[in-house]
Amino acid sequence: MGNANAAEELSSTAQALVAPGKGILAADESTGTIEKRFKSISVPSTEENRRRYRQMLFTTGRIGDHVSGAILYDETIRQKGSDGTPFPEVLRRAGVIPGIKVDTGTKPLPGCPNEVVTEGLDGLRERLAGYRDLGARFAKWRAVITIGDGLPTETCLHVNAHALARYAALCQEALLVPIVEPEVLMDGAHPIERCYEVTRSALDTVFAELRFQRVRLEGMLLKPNMVIAGGKCPRQASVQDVARETVCCLRRTVPASVPGIVFLSGGQSDVVATEHLDAMNRIGPHPWRLSFSYGRALQHPAMAAWKGEPSRVPAAQKIFFHRARMNGAAAAGKYSAALEREAAAAS
């Protein structure tokens, strides 16, 4: 494919992922993480249970009305629905673009106690080609930045930004839209101002590396944390403050050529994550689309309703659809408590 066609394909996929009123389902929990989530509902984490759970999500009726793309894990992209249809095809038929998590997790960062670096660059070019053959059209790589006493170090910000840019450049070569995810964790007792400072440095470092490594900003999406007080901070910020600080931080760091910003939920409760996204869209217009790429905030209530029981699949799907619809409304700045209640009552 020529350069112009490749650039065109990447930007049209990126734009489709942030189509009005739609966002991304992050269903790419590693085997270790999904085991933790299943433990909370007392379901053993077997390969078949993981398949049945993801099938419940992906076969939700009209999922494509509010979900533009779904991020899968290596095991998941190779699994099939009960009728033998591969999951990427199940999604494609529902109007959902299949994506894939391609980092291989974090390891301690040498010389930087309590900090981590994300791995997965070795052999990445070949793995990306394989994922594209399996139907993936976008990818995700998550870097983790911890706030603490003297943390993050410049070293941590720099090595993680370098790896994110290496990954993003390789994705674009393979015709996969890179979702670039530098997550500043909300763990800790720090105030919102500290999260603002760290997020701003992290994003500045990431965009400097992306430019240096010639990543085309039109053909990527950013997946950041919101600017929010640490979970243990006694002074929690209001929804309006989180929206204002987050938008301010992004306007100072993210070029307008990036088509969309899709937030992670990072441990926020499901309704609060929706409220924050809605509040940000209400203070627009913005140069980029602001939408969601939620894992826990989209799945948590549905997983709790499912409990591993086949008979509970329809009820869990209704709950999942409801959350997706509420976040779709928030992505358009049209969410309200009344809509939350009405839609819940009707479902």
Q: Which residues are catalytic?
A: 181, 223
264 binds ligand 13P (CB under 6 A): yes
**Min. distance of Cβ 265 from ligand 13P in angstroms?**
3
List, in sequence order, the alpha helices (H) in 174-269.
192-212, 239-253
DSSP at 342: H
Q: How far apart are CA 103 and CA 74, in angstroms?
A: 10
Q: Considering only residues 14, 26, 77, 226, which one is a binding residue for ligand 13P as defined by CB under 6 A?
A: 26
Q: Which is nearer to ligand 13P, 266 or 328 (CB)?
A: 266
Max intra-chain CA distance, the chain: 55
Stretch that binds ligand 13P, among 53-61, 202-210, 244-252, 291-299 (CB under 6 A): 291-299
Q: Considering only residues 265, 281, 317, 327, which one is a binding residue for ligand 13P as defined by CB under 6 A?
A: 265
Q: How far apart are CA 264 and CA 296, in angstroms?
A: 9
Q: Which is nearer to ligand 13P, 30 or 201 (CB)?
A: 30
- Residues 83, 112 contacting (CB under 8 angstroms): no
State whether residue 62 is helix, strand or coil: coil
276 binds ligand 13P (CB under 6 A): no
Q: Is 133 exposed, middle or buried (0-12, 13-18, 19+ CB in 10 A)?
A: exposed
322 binds ligand 13P (CB under 6 A): no
Q: How many residues of this chain bind ligand 13P (CB under 6 A)? A: 10
Q: Which is nearer to ligand 13P, 141 or 335 (CB)?
A: 141
Q: Which amino acid is at 233?
A: C
What φ, ψ does residue 137 adopt, rounded to 5°? -125, -5
Tokens representing 23?
């966002």
Q: Considering only residues 266, 275, 302, 328, which one is a binding residue for ligand 13P as defined by CB under 6 A?
A: 266
Q: Which is nearer to ligand 13P, 26 or 313 (CB)?
A: 26
Q: Which amino acid is at 72?
A: L
178 binds ligand 13P (CB under 6 A): no
Residues 116-145 that bind ligand 13P (CB under 6 A): 142
Which residue is listed with tokens 């070019």?
Answer: 125
Stretch that binds ligand 13P, among 62-70, 156-164, 186-194, 259-267 (CB under 6 A): 259-267
Residues 180-199 that bind ligand 13P (CB under 6 A): 181
Task: Give CA torsion, residues 49, 291, 201, 228, to 10 deg.
Answer: -80
Please list, in sequence order, all residues whose beta carbon lies within 8 angstroms of the beta carbon of residue 12, skipping any fewer than 6 positions away.
Answer: none
Q: How far apart are CA 141 and CA 165, in angstroms?
A: 10
Q: Considering only residues 50, 52, 296, 323, which one is a binding residue for ligand 13P as defined by CB under 6 A?
A: 296
Q: Which is nearer to ligand 13P, 276 or 322 (CB)?
A: 276
Q: How far apart are CA 156 and CA 198, in angstroms?
A: 12
**Min. distance of Cβ 199 from ligand 13P in angstroms?**
15
Q: Which is nearer to ligand 13P, 131 or 294 (CB)?
A: 294
* Minimal CB distance residue for ligand 13P: 295
Stretch that binds ligand 13P, among 278-286, 292-300, 303-311, 328-336 (CB under 6 A): 292-300
Look at residues 293, 302, 309 and name the one whose alpha carbon lies nearest to residue 66: 293
Positions touching ligand 13P (CB under 6 A) are 26, 142, 181, 264-266, 294-297
